[in-house]
Structure 1
Amino acid sequence: MAVTDTTTGAGRLSFLDVYLCDLRPWGELRGFTRFIVEFLYFGIKEARACLFVGLFMMSVFLVPKAGMFGLPRYDVLLVIALAIQFFMIWSKLETWDEAKAIGLFHIVGFALEVFKTSGSIQSWAYPEFGYTKVFGVPLFAGFMYAAIGSYIIQAWRLFDLRIHHHPSYWMATVIALAVYANFFTHHFIGDYRWYIAACALGLYARATVTFRPYDRDRKMPLLLAFVLIGFFIWLAENISTFFGIWTYPNQLGAWSAVHIGKWSSWSLLVIMTFTIVAHLKHIKRQIHVPE
């Protein structure tokens, strides 16, 4: 089964995205020159796909712990996240359909945050005051999960992603639900993360992703993409905890690196996020492309 995106709606996108999605080769490139050009465009497309993530992480660096303009830091970060979101829609760097999907990720992530920070669980905490905290979680927290969805959606379009040997949608849904449920249930019935990971490994073992950095298609195992994205999220988590955006129990006295085991959790969360994006694209394709 091959999963493609035939409904990008390029006419509604920014000039930059139209250019990146419809690159015209400079000429026949060979050897080291081709490597450099493809690597350059791969980096440009990755940076563009990470725009929301990059701008938000920059705000984590720049907003002081004391806040700004009389607002606590958590509230400033929410204002910045909303401003980035509105800017991307206004500038056509993001379509309304993509914004709706990102809103879904925000809700899913925020629900997980509320549970994980609740009094009986307290896997981590947001120790600072904020006017926009709900059930102990600042509203900007959902945008951290939305950022993952934003990256996958943008990369899918910019790299013209095509997924080959994608598993049956119902099987992918079961794995995604199991991943999400385990984040909640492992506090009560044990952590089945590695069993779920083993099932995901078998399910996606044959799946490959074809992407186009410049003018030629390249391929890689889809599982490798999940692991790599999970690793970079783990790095971002280390940065965020270093700046005290949230803290784990072992970081209360002094900061320490987030346990490497979180890498596996993030990789599984990427699988769940990817499944949601793939389903939304599948539904949209069914609507716009008659059988």
Structure 2
Amino acid sequence: MHHALRQLLLFGWQQARCCAFAVALVAGVAASGLLPQLPVARYDLLLLYGVLLTVLALRLGWDTARDTAVIAACHLIGLLFELVKVRLGSWSYPEDAVTKIGGVPLYGGFLYSAVGSYVCRAWRLMSIDLIGYRPRAMLPLAAAVYVNFFTHHWLPDARWVLAALMLPATAGTWVEYAVGQRRYRMPLALGFTLVGFFLWVAENAATYVGAWSYPDQLDGWQPVSLMKVGAWSLLISVTFVMVAGRRRVTTTLVSRPFPQVRSDR
């Protein structure tokens, strides 16, 4: 029990380090809401803050140059996503800003950058290996997931079909990761689900501090629907495929030997 508790605490500390960019970003959004009235719009300040935070993350070694390139791609993909979804009324940014296009402040892309930063940092800090990963199956499926989040406004929603296809696409794929001196593994599908849940938690925190608002939150904050857990569990596959495309993967069942657990009776 002592060893299990120590490993759990170490895992929690690793996850906190992986979330450094996201936590700093949400903290900045929260702090901006406490500022007095300024001649510069809050969304414009947050764009500047996001740029400075990105540069600082690179200088401090939170993200490598290669990670920053992936994170920038996440930002651009996220902005496209925001432009379409805001136009369709899925959520809104109610405050005015100079750096606002089509109802979307340019800082909005940093919310997706934070997800990209988390995946990149987790890959490095936890020495992740992918075992049995099939990019030829995952790449078109992730693309279909991304497109469906737009097209479901006009065509039948295919997310349940895509979720069903995700199971065979990830079957036999394991995420092997390190916690201290020990290595563990979990199915990739379980990893998507866990990340989706914690992104839902983060989304509740972000909307609470005013990062953006869903229609039912305009008259007062309400918890984000639990249905978003499934949506994030699917959407994380897009970021995952982008990051995995620049990492080493293996096709064998076990990439490294697992230490034997000592049994204390």
TM-score > 0.5 by shorter chain: yes
Q: So what's the TM-score if we normalise by structure 1?
A: 0.81
Which residue pairs with 2:54 in the alignment?
A: 85
- 2:232 aligns to what? 266
Which of 215, 218, 237 in structure 2 is aligned with 1:249? 215
Instruction: Look up the match of 2:126.
Output: 159
For structure 2, the 5+ residue unaligned runs are 250-265
CA contact (8 A) 1:67 1:76 kept: no
Say whether the 8 Å CA contact 1:124–1:249 is kept in structure 2.
yes
User: 1:143 maps to which residue?
Assistant: 110
* Offset of residue 141 of structure 1: 0.6
Asked whether 1:54 is paired with 2:23, we answer yes
**Any idea what SS the aligned residue of 2:92 has?**
coil
Name the aligned partner's letter for residue 158 of structure 2.
Answer: Y
Counterpart position of 1:289: none
CA offsets 1:250-274 (integer angstroms, 9 cap, x no match): 2222322211111111111111110
Q: Evaluate the alpha carbon distance shift between residue 72 and residue 228 of structure 1 in structure 2; reply closer, same or farther with a 3 A threshold.
A: same
Aligned partner of 2:252 in structure 1 is none
Identity %: 37
Aligned to 2:82: 113
Q: Which amino acid aligns with 1:252?
A: L
Per-residue CA deviations over 1:27-86 (Å, capped at 9, x if unaligned) read xxxxx3422332232122211111101111111222126666532221122122112111
The Cα of 1:108 is off from its aligned counterpart by 0.4
Map of 1:145-224 to 2, 5 A cutoff? 145-167=112-134, 169-224=135-190
Over residues 5-43 of structure 1, what are the superposed CA-to-partner deviations in whole Å (9 max), with x where a residue is unaligned? xxxxxxxxxxxxxxxxxxxxxxxxxxx342233223212
How big is the shift at 1:153?
Answer: 0.6
1:183-204 superposed Cα distances (whole Å, 9 cap, x missing partner): 1111111211000010001211
How many residues are treated as equivalent by the alignment?
249
CA distance in 1, matches of 2:37, 2:194: 35
Amino acid corresponding to residue 46 of structure 2 in structure 1: L
Shift in Å at residue 277 of structure 1? 0.8
Output the amino acid matched with 1:246.
W
In 1, Cα distance between the equivalents of 2:26 and 2:3? 32
Offset of residue 115 of structure 1: 0.7
Deviates more, 1:89-98 or 1:138-147: 89-98
The one-letter code matched in structure 2 to 1:238 is: N
Report if aligned partners of 2:115, 2:239 keep a CA contact under 8 Å in 1: yes
Counterpart Cα distance in 2 of 1:109 and 1:64: 23
Q: Out of 67-76 and 236-245, give the one that drifted further.
A: 67-76
Corresponding residue for residue 73 of structure 2: 104
User: How far apart, in 1, do the equivalents of 2:36 and 2:212 lie?
Assistant: 15
1:74, 1:65 → 2: CA distance? 13
Q: Label 1:46 to 1:191 Cα distance change in 2 as closer, same or farther (>3 A).
A: same
Q: 1:176 to 1:66 in 2, by over 3 A?
A: same
Change (3 A) 1:45 1:74: same
Contact 1:175–1:200 under 8 Å retained in 2 = yes
d(CA) in 1 for partners of 2:225, 2:157 = 16
Tell me the TM-score normalised to structure 2 length: 0.89
